[in-house]
Structure 1
Amino acid sequence: METMERDNRLIEPPRIRQRFARALPSYDNHAIAQQQITAEAAAMLQRTPRPFARCLEIGCGSGGFTRLLQQMLPEADWTLNDLCPESLSAAALHCPHSAHLVTGDAESAELGTGYDLIASTSAFQWFRHPQGFARKLATMQPPGGTLLFTTFLPGNLQEVKEITGRGLTYPSAGQWKEWLAHSYRIEVCREETIRLLFGNPLEVLRHLKYTGVTATGTGQWTRGMQADFIDRYNKQFSTGDNQVTLTYRPLYIQAIRR
């Protein structure tokens, strides 16, 4: 069985909650890649319509995916979860009728059981023990239940990790498939590359700050650290036409509980 080593020192729920709460007002205007991923996840669900009466969204964030899910399944009984209470309040505004809100780390929170649908976008990469969480997911769904989630793969934000030496360790698609295989039948497992272009490395840093992705960072950068980052980024990741790249590597998985 595939296992993985994670540097869980970078995954501290209190800091992650603080950074995403701070980014909440700016997130929707700057989360370009995340919005593309959310739209594709919603399209996947629409292509395989099933009756869903009881549904859970994990890591709802500002509510971008929540809004699309509610449009597709307005009559369902919904539970929303997020680490940040501020995000939960924002996401709940998209629900046509009252949703059950669960604040807290999905790995340890009591999320309930019996869900026909469990959905999540761009959240599972923050889990300290993703293999254990795959087992938890299975306990929350009856046979025939649908699991739909997106997360990120090795190579995600590779430019920043290469320069700073810091960043999350992401499970591979093969690892996720193996962890889920005992309890789920995989219908879709698809990798994608989204390469964003920015005018300069400072725009990259602002993008990361305004979307909360800097939740792995510690402390403040000095002027010298920032100057070194900008210089190395320009040298290593320039497109040659006065732009620089930032790469996202999403993974889409849709599966049925055995």
Structure 2
Amino acid sequence: MIEVAWKKDLARRFGEAAQSYETQSEVQQKSAKALADRIAASVLNKKTLRILEIGCGTGYLTRELLKLYPDAQWWVTDISADMLAKCQSSLSDEIINPECRSSFSSTEFTPTLDLSKVNFHAMDGEAVDLDGPFDLICSNMAFQWFHDLEGTLAKLSGLLSANGTLAFSTLSYGTFGLWHRCQKELGIERLAPEFPDAAFYHRCLNGLDIETSQQKFVQCHKDGLDFLGTLREIGAHSSRVGRSRLSVGQLRSLLKKYENYFTGNHIEADYDVLFVLCNRDYQR
């Protein structure tokens, strides 16, 4: 029941962040483009594909892949109905009025795509209620929120068609490294889960043809409060179940310690993003 409550809170937080998400989610936008480039090199547009996207957010990855696979049959999903609605409206606005594109949208986006082939569906990515098989299951920066990541990977890979591809980006070990180091030095319990490294995914997807690559993204902030504000604006500010909130004094000490590591007029937050592509049937 606690985990169910946490999932509901997660959906609520992302829903509240839907309108401001694209003004703050610089890393998510960059990782979507990087993931789309990797998918383009692996998944050929040889036939009408069935594509399932998990955790679409406001549509960063959706926009990139619609350019690559305009004839595909799509199921675009998110745990937050508000995020899903924002994604749908953004795509519609860009197609009808390309001058209204988000500042993060690619200039190559084609305003003649047929959204009648895109099904928008509110759904928890850990509880897929759609029937496969899918030729491509993809996700940008959502898997780090999963409670049973190993079990979900098994379920998703089981929904792939013959030679289907599972492709995703996710936060990896090392993300917010300095932030967590400051917590440890102050004796503060780690506020966020420790994200898995590439070896975890190789173990979980053992027997599949799997390729992993890692890329570090750095986002600058004017101070520690601005960093926390960005997490809040993208819905990523709450800790997981069982972690108590910081006192005001603890938060002040943590922010001061973090800021003291930087000497310029800004601070930095590091994101270690892992890209995973695997094929269901091809084995090494």
Give the TM-score taking structure 1 as reference length. Answer: 0.87
State the superposition RMSD in angstroms.
Answer: 2.3
Task: Report what 1:97 is aligned to.
Answer: 115
Matches within 5 A, 1:1-258: 12-51=6-45, 52-93=48-89, 94=91, 96-98=114-116, 99-162=118-181, 163=183, 165-182=190-207, 184-186=208-210, 188-216=211-239, 223-235=248-260, 237-238=261-262, 240-258=263-281
Amino acid at match of 1:23: A
Once the two structures are superposed, what CA deviation does each residue of 1:46-101 show, in whole Å capped at 9, x if it has no partner? Answer: 22341352110001011111111112112111011110011112222427323223
Contact (CA 8 Å) 1:154, 1:169: kept in 2 or not? yes
Q: What is the alpha-carbon distance in structure 2 between the residues aligned to residue 49 and residue 146 of structure 1?
A: 7
Distance 1:160 1:101, change over 3 A: same
Contact (CA 8 Å) 1:199, 1:243: kept in 2 or not? yes
Gaps of 5+ in 1: 1-7
Alignment coverage as a number of residue pairs:
247
Amino acid at match of 1:145: G
Gaps of 5+ in 2: 93-113
Once the two structures are superposed, what CA deviation does each residue of 1:205-248 show, in whole Å capped at 9, x if it has no partner? Answer: 1111111111326787654344223212122x31x223222110
Q: What is the alpha-carbon distance in structure 2 between the residues aligned to residue 171 and residue 220 of structure 1?
A: 24
Q: What is the alpha-carbon distance in structure 1 between the residues aligned to residue 122 and residue 3 of structure 2?
A: 22
Question: Secondary structure of 1:41's partner?
Answer: helix
Amino acid at match of 2:253: D
Deviates further, 153-162 or 17-26: 153-162
Q: What is the alpha-carbon distance in structure 1 between the residues aligned to residue 83 and residue 271 of structure 2?
A: 23
Q: What is the alpha-carbon distance in structure 2 between the residues aligned to residue 63 and residue 205 of structure 1?
A: 23
Deviates further, 159-168 or 74-83: 159-168
Give the TM-score taking structure 2 as reference length. Answer: 0.80
Contact (CA 8 Å) 2:221, 2:227: kept in 1 or not? yes
Q: What is the alpha-carbon distance in structure 2 between the residues aligned to residue 83 and residue 10 of structure 1?
A: 12
Contact (CA 8 Å) 2:223, 2:267: kept in 1 or not? yes
Q: What is the alpha-carbon distance in structure 1 between the residues aligned to residue 167 and residue 67 of structure 2?
A: 17
Q: What is the alpha-carbon distance in structure 2 between the residues aligned to residue 166 and residue 220 of structure 1?
A: 8
Amino acid at match of 2:21: Y
